Every structure is written in structure tokens, then in C-alpha cells.
């Protein structure tokens, strides 16, 4: 690390409609370091990065690049300095090739104004080889996995002589193995002298891979420290502005009442002979590698996707398979992992989203009772601590954590008996995660059934009273909270252990 930072942001201020979102922010970044930016959603991280990449202009303050003050009036100004960003939601052209995406807008042209594809493919291959990325440059991007698409985004940034690379939640949709591959690439980039700003809510990634950490809260710079000089407890408490003694709520007490019974559930080629019971007073965790079939099983149980055979009983009543409307009416609910495209109406208001599952409750002779809608949504706003201007605010303008609370409110509105939540805290900050976990434990303690699917092993271990592990469409293990560990879960998740007692139900 050199004595002088590559970038210095000094006393940066920014307001929107009279709301002060950045308050005298200072940030410095050195060549050859991975610098973590931590903070809750709404802390100002994205606004600060948008200023650094020229997408926004600060109201006041200065940016110094390589010892000289610069004005970044547009993304092009930032790109000319070698400042690039890879957003959480990738911005590739899905129907173009890898090479065409890397050089979009800068395609090499022959004298006759025809694209020089040989040169383009050769340059793209050279960059991907630098990243140790085994990707065919002529493949259409939509045919690649998310992790490889992300590598294409990084290659695109490197192709523009990148000196500063900003990564926003880069592992949110990656498996652990894919995340490890990404960090190997980041290590290569760091060793080549590139400065990396790393935004993530995953503290284990930060402590394993970053050299320094900056914490922001409510638009203010709280502190910047070397990773070796801080702890995950200090980062969390600094982010939320209070000490969180227990990141996860106390474990529940399993009762004797079976809320949900699944027997021999099978969908040919996807999963088979899924059998388990869910008891009152417990949170049942479902773990497994991405692609193991966890979401498909949950959607099958709730009647969303087709099931070939098996039985599902809710409070002793046999449920019809493949009938999602009946599942909802009876109180068996699936809450999707993809809140933006499958869970919420982003352009509609909070109150419209909350009452969407059952309009009969709030209508009379086809007319919506607006006062009742407002009353119900205000109750959920208070109950789940949804931070918003008011319940008329559009979903798209909420943070990820508050969007998730609205999604949960939407399904609590129908008074469910059992909720299956798929990745309930993906992409939300530590403070919001803590609130969601507390809500789930309260629901379980009230007698509702709660099943949590999560790819984050710390979350599965922290929230679950009992854990089922899925491998290639089968349950391979059942683990109590007392015996659970990341190592044991991974043994079952990779198929190295398989000792779960299965109950087969013959097809009708």
C-alpha cells in the first residue's frame, strides 16, 4: 500500500428534495487494496459510489485522483480515469456474445466499417485469461451462469484500463464455490495494483478478503479501520448505531403438534421422496447447495409447481396437490426468494401490495374500502417496523430490507398457518436481517409454522431449531440445532453423508 491514496473523497455532501443523504463524507482508497464499504440499506453507500462513478454530482466537497482534484460530471469522466462499477444487478446485453459485451460501444472496426471480430475475440480472450476465467468469448451471455456473467462484467471493466473497481454485493447470487473463485480473481487484481471498493453485507467475506473497512450510517462516515484492528461485532454495532447482543433470537421449544406433514413428495427429474414433519414452536431450516432442489420442493409443497406424487397435510387435513389457490386459502404460504420480479408490484404502493393477496377482505360489492386498506397497512407498518414516508410510497423506492418486510406483511395479511420463506434476508443489511429473524421467531412462538430456506450457513445455523439438508433432490440428513455445524451440513449437502430415513408414498 502506497503512502498516498489513489482516490480521496473529502467532505462530500448530497441532498435530495431537502433530505441530507451524505454529510461531509471522507473516503480514501489505495492502490492494491480491497476496501470494504459497510452500512445498512439507506446509509448512503450507493449515493457515494454514484458520485465516484460520475452518475451523480455532489452538492459540495472534492474528489482527488492520483494527487489532482477532478470533476466527474458523467460516467464517461470516471471511465476515462479508470473508475468502473459492477452493479448487483448485472447490466449485460443477454443476446450478444461475451466479446461483444466486453467491447460494447468500442467494437474494433476494419477499414471497410465492418466489425473486426477476430481482433475483438482475441482481445476479449486475453483479458479473460488474465482473470483465469475459462469462458468462450463467442458464447451468448444469456447461456452463462450468473457467476460467469459477473466475470464478463469484471472483464469489461478491466478492458477500459480499470484502476478502481467497485463491486456492489457481488456474491448475493453465487454459490460458496463461485464466491471463492471470485475472490481468487479479486486477489489477482489487487496484486496487479487495482484498488477495489467492496460493498457487502456478508461480514465473513469482508474479514477474509479485505484489508480495510469503512462504516457508514445515516449518510455519515463513522470510521475507517484496518480489518486486523476491528471485529464483526464492532462493525455490526457501528452500522446499526446500537449494540446487538444476540444477532439471532433465542431458540424455540419444539411442541408435539404437527403443523405440516409431507410424505413421499416427488417430481420426476427434480426431487423424490421428500418426507418430513414441521412441529409447532420450531423453525425448520432447509439447507443445500444452489441447484439442489430446495426452492422447487417448497413450491411443490405449496401447489405452485407441478408435483407427480406424494402427500401434503396441513393441520391433519390432506391438501390437494398442484392447487396454489387452495394452499393460500388454507393458510400454506410460499414467500419467494425473488421479491422484485415474483413477490412485489414495484410500481405500486405499500398498501396496495399488502392487501393484494385477498381483495375480498377490503372490498364491498366490487368497491375497495380505502380507509380499511390504509388502516390495515398502517398496522403492518407499525408491527414490522417498515421504514417509509407513508404507506402510499411506491415499493421501488424502499430499501431491500423494507421491501422484504412489505413482502412478509403481504402474506401475513392472509393469516397463514405455515410460511415457507425462501432466502428471506438475501440482499438486506445486518440490522434488517436481525429484525426479520426476530419477526420469524415471534411467528413461530405464536404457533405458526415457519420453514426457512437459506444459502447462508451462518443464518441456517443461527435461526433454525432443526435442519434438513437437500442434495440432488433428496433429503440426505436431519440435524438438530445442538449438533449442527457448517462442516456437518456440507457433508450432507455434497452427498458425502446420507442417513435420512425416507417414507415412500406410492403413486395413485
Give 503's pLDDT tier (boundaries 50, 70, 90).
low
The predicted structure's pLDDT at residue 56: 92
Residue-wise pLDDT for 30-51, tens only, equals: 999 999 999 887 788 989 999 9
Pairing status of strand 283-288 against strand 60-65: unpaired
HEC per residue, 127-180: HHHHCCCCCCCCCEHHHCCHHHHHHHHHHHHHHCCCCEEEEECCCCCCCHHHHH
The predicted structure's pLDDT at residue 1: 45
Q: Which helix (H) or strand (E) holds 458?
A: helix 457-463
State how far the alpha carbon of 208 is from the alpha carbons of 180, 184, 494, in Å.
11, 12, 23
Give 2's pLDDT tier (boundaries 50, 70, 90).
very low
> Using a CB cutoff of 8 Å and minimum separation of 24, what contacts does 377-383 make?
377/350, 377/351, 377/409, 380/354, 380/409, 380/412, 380/413, 381/350, 381/409, 383/409
Residue-wise pLDDT for 69-89, tens only, equals: 999 999 999 999 999 998 877
Share of the chain above pLDDT 70, in %: 97
Task: Pick the closest to residue 468 from 452, 450, 445, 446 (CA basis).
Answer: 452
The predicted structure's pLDDT at residue 245: 60
Share of the chain above pLDDT 90, in %: 64
Res. 508: pLDDT tops 70: no
Angle at 92 between CA 270 and CA 145, to 5 degrees: 25
d(CA 24, CA 221): 8
Residue-wise pLDDT for 299-353, tens only, equals: 999 999 999 999 999 999 999 999 999 999 999 999 998 888 889 999 999 999 9
Q: Which three cell numbers stand for residue 265?
A: 413428495
Mean pLDDT across 393-417: 91
CB 195 within 8 A of CB 31: yes
The predicted structure's pLDDT at residue 294: 94
Res. 240: pLDDT tops 90: no
Task: Pick the closest to residue 43 from 235, 244, 216, 223 (CA basis).
Answer: 216
Q: Which three cell numbers stand for residue 287?
A: 439447507
Phi, psi values for residue 271, rounded to 5°: -155, 160
Res. 158: pLDDT tops 80: yes
Give 505's pLDDT tier (boundaries 50, 70, 90).
low
Res. 446: pLDDT tops 90: yes
User: Which of 26-35, 50-59, 140-149, 464-473 is predicted least confidently?
Assistant: 140-149
Amino acid at each position: 500500500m502506497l503512502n498516498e491514496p489513489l482516490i480521496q473523497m473529502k467532505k462530500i455532501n448530497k441532498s435530495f428534495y431537502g433530505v441530507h443523504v451524505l454529510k461531509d463524507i471522507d473516503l480514501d482508497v489505495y492502490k492494491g487494496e480491497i476496501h470494504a464499504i459497510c452500512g445498512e440499506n439507506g446509509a448512503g453507500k450507493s449515493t457515494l459510489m454514484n458520485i465516484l462513478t460520475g452518475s451523480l454530482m455532489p452538492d459540495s466537497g472534492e474528489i482527488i485522483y492520483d494527487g489532482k482534484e477532478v470533476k466527474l460530471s458523467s460516467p464517461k469522466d470516471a471511465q476515462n480515469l479508470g473508475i468502473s462499477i459492477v452493479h448487483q444487478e448485472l447490466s449485460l446485453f443477454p443476446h450478444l456474445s461475451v466479446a461483444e459485451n466486453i467491447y460494447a460501444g468500442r467494437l474494433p472496426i476494419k477499414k471497410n466499417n465492418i466489425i473486426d471480430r477476430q481482433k475483438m475475440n482475441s482481445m476479449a480472450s486475453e483479458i479473460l485469461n488474465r482473470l483465469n476465467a475459462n469462458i468462450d468469448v463467442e458464447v451468448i451471455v444469456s447461456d452463462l451462469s450468473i457467476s460467469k456473467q459477473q466475470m464478463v462484467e469484471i472483464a469489461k471493466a478491466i478492458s477500459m484500463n480499470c484502476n478502481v473497481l467497485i463491486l456492489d454485493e457481488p456474491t448475493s447470487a453465487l454459490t460458496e464455490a463461485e464466491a471463492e473463485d471470485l475472490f481468487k480473481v479479486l486477489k489477482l487484481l489487487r496484486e496487479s495494483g487495482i484498488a477495489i471498493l467492496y460493498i457487502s453485507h456478508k461480514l465473513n467475506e469482508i474479514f477474509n478478503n479485505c484489508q480495510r473497512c469503512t462504516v457508514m450510517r445515516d449518510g455519515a462516515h463513522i470510521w475507517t479501520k484496518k480489518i486486523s484492528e476491528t471485529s464483526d461485532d464492532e462493525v455490526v454495532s457501528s452500522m446499526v448505531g446500537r449494540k446487538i447482543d444476540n444477532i439471532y433470537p433465542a431458540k424455540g421449544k419444539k411442541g408435539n403438534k404437527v403443523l405440516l406433514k409431507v410424505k413421499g413428495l416427488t417430481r420426476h427429474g427434480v426431487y423424490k421422496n421428500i418426507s418430513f414433519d414441521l412441529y409447532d414452536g420450531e423453525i425448520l431450516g432447509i439447507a443445500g447447495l444452489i441447484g439442489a432442489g430446495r426452492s422447487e420442493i417448497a413450491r411443490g409443497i405449496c401447489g405452485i409447481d407441478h408435483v407427480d406424487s406424494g402427500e401434503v397435510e396441513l393441520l391433519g387435513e390432506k391438501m390437494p396437490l398442484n392447487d396454489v389457490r387452495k394452499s393460500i386459502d388454507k393458510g400454506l404460504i410460499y414467500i419467494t426468494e425473488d421479491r422484485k420480479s415474483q413477490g412485489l408490484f414495484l410500481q405500486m404502493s405499500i398498501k396496495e401490495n399488502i392487501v393484494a393477496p385477498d381483495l375480498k377482505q377490503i372490498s364491498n360489492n366490487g368497491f375497495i374500502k380505502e380507509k380499511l386498506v390504509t388502516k390495515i397497512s398502517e398496522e403492518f407498518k407499525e408491527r414490522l417496523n417498515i421504514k417509509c414516508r407513508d404507506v402510499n410510497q411506491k415499493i421501488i423506492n424502499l430499501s431491500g430490507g423494507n421491501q422484504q418486510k412489505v413482502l412478509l406483511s403481504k402474506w401475513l395479511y392472509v393469516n397463514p398457518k405455515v410460511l415457507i420463506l425462501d432466502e428471506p434476508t438475501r440482499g438486506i443489511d445486518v440490522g434488517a436481517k436481525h429484525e426479520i429473524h426476530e419477526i420469524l421467531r415471534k411467528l413461530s412462538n405464536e404457533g405458526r409454522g415457519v420453514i426457512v430456506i437459506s444459502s447462508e450457513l451462518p443464518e441456517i445455523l443461527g435461526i433454525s431449531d432443526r435442519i434438513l439438508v437437500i442434495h440432488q433432490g433428496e433429503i440426505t440428513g436431519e440435524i438438530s440445532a445442538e449438533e449442527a455445524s457448517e462442516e456437518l451440513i456440507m457433508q450432507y449437502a455434497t452427498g458425502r453423508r446420507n442417513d435420512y430415513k425416507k417414507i415412500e408414498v406410492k403413486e395413485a
